[in-house]
A and B are shown apart, each in its own frame.
Chain A
Amino acid sequence: ETGVTQSPTHLIKTRGQQVTLRCSSQSGHNTVSWYQQALGQGPQFIFQYYREEENGRGNFPPRFSGLQFPNYSSELNVNALELDDSALYLCASSPGLINEKLFFGSGTQLSVL
Chain B
Amino acid sequence: AQTVTQSQPEMSVQEAETVTLSCTYDTSESDYYLFWYKQPPSRQMILVIRQEAYKQQNATENRFSVNFQKAAKSFSLKISDSQLGDAAMYFCAYRSGNAGGTSYGKLTFGQGTILTVHP
Give chain A's interface residues, CB within 8 Å of chain B.
Answer: 31, 33, 35, 40-45, 48, 50, 55-58, 88, 90, 92, 94, 97-98, 100-102, 104-107, 109
Contacts and interface: CB of A to CB of B under 8 A. Distances in A.
A34 to B, nearest CB: 11
Nearest to B50: A100
B106 A33 contact: yes
Given A41-B112, A42-B112, A56-B102, A104 B44 contact: yes
Interface string B96-117: 0001001111111111100000
A57 to B, nearest CB: 8
Nearest to B4: A42
Contacts, number: 63
Most buried by B among A40, A42, A56, A101: A42
A97 to B, nearest CB: 6
30 contacts: A33-B105, A41-B111, A41-B112, A42-B93, A42-B111, A43-B45, A43-B91, A43-B107, A43-B109, A44-B109, A45-B106, A45-B107, A45-B108, A48-B106, A55-B105, A56-B104, A56-B105, A57-B102, A58-B106, A90-B45, A94-B105, A97-B104, A101-B47, A101-B50, A102-B107, A104-B44, A106-B43, A106-B44, A107-B44, A109-B43
Interface in B65-119: 91, 93, 95, 99, 102-112
Nearest to B109: A42
Nearest to A57: B102
Q: Give the interface size bracket for B toward A.
A: 20 to 34
Contacts of B50: 100-101
A107 B43 contact: yes
B91 A42 contact: yes
